[in-house]
Structure 1
Amino acid sequence: MGKRRKPTPPNRARLAVLTTAMAGSAVLASGTAHAEPAPTAASVKDQVDRLNEEAEQSIERYNGFQAKQQKLQGEAGRIQEKVARGQEAMNELRTRLGAVAADQYRSNGIDPGIQLMLDSDPSAYLQRASVQNQVADSQTNLLKQAQDEQRKLDQDRTEAAATLAELDTVGASLGAQKNQIQAKLAQTQALLNKLSAAERAKINAQESADKAKAAAQQAAAADRASRAAERPDLKAPAPPAAGGRAASIVQFASAQLGKPYGWSMTGPNSFDCSGLTGAAYRAADIKLPRLSQDQWNAGTRIARADLQPGDLVFFYPDLHHVGIYIGDGKMIHAPRTGKNIEVLPIGVMPYMGGVRP
């Protein structure tokens, strides 16, 4: 067996290179660990605003899935009741056919057609019933009735199965949308938690300043519009009568001021934006669709200059936010998670239009 050679130790030059490389790696690692700058109040506010808007869009989608789920649940119940009634009718026909079979057995034995009808799959006989002449006319009518009833029962069962399958799909989408909303809200809170109390106060102050600036810009725009010779070419319907439904809508919305925003909530203790508008209109005996996008199509479009208290006002290109106009360029709306129902100028968000249901 040969002698094992000892590894050659690195010379001083090689040790120097290795030491320098290791030190450089340590510096890079240390630099990487501390490279992320502390978030500023301004950057956090921008991220929080973006996440809140994305969350509100997800909330409206969630509301849509929830409304569809409730509709499908109603349809599934109705169809299942129909299936139950059809099965009862089919059982009654089978009983009558059994009586016919018993009579035939006592006289001349069970008719082959009746025997087939009493099997688990009577449709096999019914498909051949037209070519059989062994059954009397009254029995043929009974068999035809059973065939029709079986066909309706099969159709109802197929419809029920399809509705239940769609209900499962909507339920899964509902759960996924809920997880997405909760993730965005958690991300928002995590960003705010990185700030000191003073920085959070600064964000709130900046938000108030932005609202005041938007209100001033809106007032200036309204003044320019009032002086313009040309008005929008849009004929609006007559404004609602004072003390009528419009007053009930505004009165209800005003009574909710200060209540917290609650996503996917329709009251009475908290509301989201379309939940508040829907509840206010219910107080005036007017039913609105659940989603803000659907509420957009629930009435007559109104030019901004012709808005009256009680009208709906919509924001953002996808119409995911809605409020109730109360006059003087202002609205009552449910803003977002962490905020309360408030009065706000309609110019603080991208205004899309007004609707009078």
Structure 2
Amino acid sequence: MGTRKRGLITAAVTVVCAVTVLAAPGTAFAAPSPSPSPSASPSSPPAPVSNKELEEVRAKLEKLYHSAAVATDAYNAAEEAVERQSAEIVSLAKKIVKGQERLAELKKRAGAAAAAQYRSGGLPDEAHLMLSDDPGAFLDGAGRVLQGQRATKGLLAEMTRTQQDLELYAKDASAQWQKLEAGRKAKAAAQKKIEKQIKAAEQLESQLEKEEKERLAELEKEAAYAAQTAWLDSGILKDIKGQASEQGRKAVEYASAQLGKPYEWGAEGPMTYDCSGLTSEAWASAGTGIPRTSQEQWKQLERIDIKDMRPGDLIIYNEDASHVALYIGDGAIIHAPRPGRTVTIAGAGSMRILGVVRPDA
């Protein structure tokens, strides 16, 4: 796929449900039927791939795109870490420069104090008192000397603290550089895995004839349809009555405006998105920053019982939290499915639900 602006994909390998799939229980709709396969004749080319074989292809594609989705989350997480570590290194560098400037100033002041002491001849106070023509003036001066000595001690103590701070900053910077290098390696490894999985999926699909690809698309729709129907038949939708918050409404509006835009792993808009790029940007537009990856969204955001779900909440999919979508109400979601697809509306139950999280809990 080539190098991306940011990189990682996400995987809901099941394709978009038909609009009728989003209907509440009790609404009549017909399941899509597979295209009839032409009958073979002795003089015909090899028989077309059977539905069973296409189903195996669909399962393989789902596995490949899921693996790419997991790698996408790893890539996005590594990129976030790299950005965070880079910022920390810049901050430490500024502290080091400021500390060095402070240390130079302290050394200059300490040098001036040492020079002043040298000019006084280094004699003890008793000698200065005996040699002084004005004992009163000497005693006044002696008080100032004591103040100067205390100031010098404070100066030396500050120099020591500044030097220790510089050593600590340097050590922290070294540790951050090591983390940065590890993050870059993790990012490169994730990108390599993403591209490998997507390439394998594309090669697998490229072996199919046009009619077979159409039948494969029908099988994907049927799988999504069956999952959504089972979810609706459970009666879950009658329990989901939550109303969107103001921020949730804004997030849904943002996601709705992205419908039809292409999926691109690691992308955060405005022209292309991956699944968590879409959800994170939708909520950013509503004024709430959330983690960049679907796995971190699952880990860090407050979890909500599915019956309490409301528009704007995020539904996390797959056992490894490798996919995320924005719930928009009436049993439907908006999500960026996978490579080769666009941001679309689908049935909330058309994929394996792990749980629900709420950004503005």
Q: How far is 1:136 from its partner?
A: 5.1
Count of residue pairs brought into register by the alignment: 284
DSSP 3-state at the match of 1:352: strand
The answer for the alignment partner of 2:129 in structure 1 is: none
Q: How far is 1:300 from its partner?
A: 3.9
- Give CA-to-partner distance per residue, 1:237-291, whole Å, 9 cap, x none: 97435xx222212111111111011111111111111111111112211211112
Q: Structure 1 residues 293-302 or 142-151, which shifts more?
A: 293-302
Give the alignment's TM-score, normalised by structure 1. 0.73
The answer for the alignment partner of 2:207 in structure 1 is: 194
Q: How far is 1:81 from its partner?
A: 0.5
Q: Which runs of 5+ in 1 are unaligned?
A: 1-37, 110-134
User: Quick one: which of 79, 91, 98 aligns to 2:92?
Assistant: 79
Tell me the distance in 2 between the aligned counterparts of 1:295 and 1:311.
11
The answer for the alignment partner of 2:174 in structure 1 is: 161
| 2:348 is equivalent to residue 353 of structure 1 | no
| 2:147 is equivalent to residue 147 of structure 1 | no
Question: 1:136 and 1:324, CA in 2 relative to 1: closer, same or farther beyond 3 A?
Answer: closer
Tell me the distance in 2 between the aligned counterparts of 1:145 and 1:326.
59
DSSP 3-state at the match of 1:246: helix
The answer for the alignment partner of 2:107 in structure 1 is: 94
| 2:183 is equivalent to residue 170 of structure 1 | yes
Tell me the distance in 2 between the aligned counterparts of 1:144 and 1:217.
73
- Give CA-to-partner distance per residue, 1:148-173, whole Å, 9 cap, x none: 21111111111111111111111111
Q: Is the 8 A contact 1:59 1:263 kept in 2?
A: yes
Tell me the distance in 2 between the aligned counterparts of 1:165 and 1:300.
33
Q: How far is 1:55 from its partner?
A: 0.4
| 2:72 is equivalent to residue 59 of structure 1 | yes
The answer for the alignment partner of 1:30 in structure 2 is: none
Tell me the distance in 1 between the aligned counterparts of 2:259 and 2:241.
29
The answer for the alignment partner of 2:132 in structure 1 is: none
Q: How far is 1:356 from its partner?
A: 2.3
Q: Is the 8 A contact 2:241 2:310 kept in 1?
A: no
User: Quick one: which of 314, 337, 340 aligns to 2:339?
Assistant: 337
Tell me the distance in 1 between the aligned counterparts of 2:274 and 2:96.
38
Give the alignment's TM-score, normalised by structure 2. 0.72
The answer for the alignment partner of 1:221 in structure 2 is: 234
DSSP 3-state at the match of 1:322: strand
Q: Which has the higher contact order (CA 8 A, sep 6+)?
A: 2
DSSP 3-state at the match of 1:332: strand
Question: 1:237 and 1:161, CA in 2 relative to 1: closer, same or farther beyond 3 A?
Answer: farther
The answer for the alignment partner of 1:281 in structure 2 is: 283
- Give CA-to-partner distance per residue, 1:210-263, whole Å, 9 cap, x none: 22222322222227x85xxxx8xxxx997435xx22221211111111101111
The answer for the alignment partner of 2:193 in structure 1 is: 180
Q: How far is 1:84 from its partner?
A: 0.6
The answer for the alignment partner of 2:306 in structure 1 is: 304
Tell me the distance in 2 between the aligned counterparts of 1:321 and 1:245.
22
Tell me the distance in 2 between the aligned counterparts of 1:215 and 1:138.
77
AA aligned to 2:275 is C
Q: How far is 1:310 from its partner?
A: 1.4
Q: How far is 1:296 from its partner?
A: 2.2
DSSP 3-state at the match of 2:345: strand
The answer for the alignment partner of 2:244 in structure 1 is: 240
The answer for the alignment partner of 1:316 in structure 2 is: 318
Q: How far is 1:306 from its partner?
A: 2.9
AA aligned to 1:313 is I
The answer for the alignment partner of 1:7 in structure 2 is: none
Tell me the distance in 2 between the aligned counterparts of 1:201 and 1:238.
38
DSSP 3-state at the match of 1:260: coil
DSSP 3-state at the match of 2:234: helix
Tell me the distance in 2 between the aligned counterparts of 1:294 and 1:187.
27
Q: Is the 8 A contact 1:41 1:195 kept in 2?
A: no
The answer for the alignment partner of 1:28 in structure 2 is: none
DSSP 3-state at the match of 2:235: helix
The answer for the alignment partner of 2:253 in structure 1 is: 251
Q: Which runs of 5+ in 2 are unaligned?
A: 1-48, 123-147
Matched-pair identity in %: 32
